[in-house]
Amino acid sequence: MRRPTMDDVAGRAGVSRALVSLVMRDSPKVSPERRAAVLAAAADLGYSPHAMARQLAQRTSTVLAVLVSDLHNPYFADVVEAVDTAAREAGLDMILSTGGRRPAGERRAVETMLGFRPAGLVLLSPVVPQSVLEAASASTPVVAVERTVSLPGVDTVTDDGRAGSRLAVDHLAGLGHRDVVHLDGGQGAQSSTRRRGFVDAMRAHGLAPHVEPSEYTEEGGAAAVARLLAAGTRFTALVAANDINAIGALSALADAGLRVPEDVSVVGYDNTSLAAMRHVGLTTVDQPRAEMGRLAVAAVVERIGGHRTAPTRHRLQPSLVVRTTTAPPRAAGTTA
C-alpha cells in the first residue's frame, strides 16, 4: 500500500500543501481551526511526516542541529530548552547531539549533523578547533554559544566571562576575603576568559590571585580542592569554574570536615537548577541562558532569510545571585 503524502493530507483537508507543511512544522502562523482540520486529515490517512523526506520535497531544510558539549551539565538543558522554543516558533525542528567534551567526539557529531543538511548549526560551548567551525559555516549558518571566535561565517553568543568573574571576586572581597582561589575550567569554552577576569579582579583589589587547575566537572572540582588541602594552601574562599565544578568542591570540603560558608565560601558560575536547590544554596554568577538560546536561533533565522551576511557578536552581561554558600571569613585562613 502506498504511504500517504503531504499532498494527500492537503486534499483531504481542503487546504494547500504549503499550509500542511506549516502545520507539520508546528508553525504559530496557522489558525487553530485550520490546524485542527489538517491534523484530523493526517490522522484519518495515517500520515506521519519524515524529516528527511520533508526536506527533499521542499528542497529546503527545517532542521536546526544543536551540539551540546556536556549532557551532564544542567546549564545546557536550560539553553537547549530556550533554543527549542525559539526554533519551534521559527518553524524549525531541533535535533540534538553531543561530543562528550572531546574535540574528536564533537567533530564526528558535527559531521553527522551536517549530513542532515540542516538549516543551521548551533554549538553550545564547543571545544572543536576553529577549522571545524569554518568548514561547517561554508554549507550552513553556524552559531557558537559560549565560544569566542572571529570567523566571518560564524555568529557568536556569549556572556561577559570577565565581568562574571569580577562580580564573584568583588562579592568575596566585599565580605573581607583575601585568600581566594579560582578553580580553573581547563580547556573548556570561556575558561580562559573567566580566568583572566578573576586574575584582573584580584589584582584590582590588591590581592594575590591563585589559580588552581581544574575542569568543568564535579570530579574536577573535588580533585582541585583535595590538592589544595593536601598542599596546605591557605584559602578562605573559592571561585569555581562553573556550578557542577562547585558541587564537586563542596563535596570535597565536606569530606575534609570543613563547613560552608563558616570555614570556606564558595561561588559557582551559571546559576543552574543545582545551585538553586535548597540544600545547596550556591552563590553563583547567573548567565541569561534563555536569552542566549533565543539569540542563537535568531542569528540562524537572519542568515537563512538573507537579512544579514556579516557576523553578529552578542555579549550578554551576567549578574550575581547571592545564596548561602558565602559569608565573611573567620580570622584565620583555612589550611590543610
Mean pLDDT confidence for 185-200: 94
Q: Which fold has domain 6-49?
A: 434 Repressor (Amino-terminal Domain) (1.10.260)
Would you call 274 helix, strand, or coil by DSSP?
helix
Burial class (CB in 10 A: 0-12, 13-18, 19+), 108: middle
Q: In sequence order, what DSSP letters do the residues of 123-166 get, joined into one string?
A: EES--S-HHHHHHHHTTS-EEEES-----TTEEEEEE-HHHHHH
Q: Could you give the residue range(s) of every CATH 1.10.260.40 domain in the chain?
A: 6-49
Q: Which carries the bigger pLDDT value, residue 307 or residue 283?
A: 283
C-alpha cell at 171: 562579592
Taking the C-alpha atoms of residue 127 and residue 278, their distance in angstroms, rounded to an integer, is 33
Q: What is the pLDDT of residue 282?
A: 98
Is pLDDT of 284 > 80?
yes
Burial 200-221 (b: 16+ CB within 10 A, else e): ebbeebebebbebebbbbbebb
Per-residue pLDDT band for 61 (boundaries 50, 70, 90) equals confident
From 3.40.50.2300, 3.30.565.10, 3.40.50.300, 3.40.50.620, which CATH number describes the 161-287 domain? 3.40.50.2300
pTM higher than the cut 0.75: yes
Q: What is the pLDDT of residue 62?
A: 87
Could you tell me which of 57, 65, 64, 63 has the C-alpha nearest to residue 21?
57
Mean pLDDT confidence for 17-27: 77
Summary count for the chain: helices (H), strands (E): 13, 12
**Over the stretch 101-147, which tens digit does the pLDDT of each residue have?**
899 999 999 999 999 889 999 999 999 999 999 999 999 999 999 99
As a whole-number percent, the residues of the chain with pLDDT over 90 amount to 74
Would you call 73 helix, strand, or coil by DSSP?
coil
**Over the stretch 228-279, which tens digit does the pLDDT of each residue have?**
999 999 999 999 999 999 999 999 999 999 999 999 999 999 999 999 999 9
Per-residue pLDDT band for 187 (boundaries 50, 70, 90) equals confident
Is 103 within 8 Å of 187 (Cβ atoms)? no
Q: What is the mean pLDDT of the chain?
A: 91
Q: What is the pLDDT of residue 333?
A: 45
Q: Could you give the residue range(s) of every CATH 3.40.50.2300 domain in the chain?
A: 63-159+288-317, 161-287
Lowest mean pLDDT among 93-102, 262-271, 280-289: 93-102
Q: What is the pLDDT of residue 100?
A: 85
Superfamily of domain 63-159+288-317 in the CATH hierarchy: Response regulator (3.40.50.2300)
Identify any residues that bridge with 179 across adjacent strands, giving them in sequence order: none
C-alpha cell at 99: 561530543
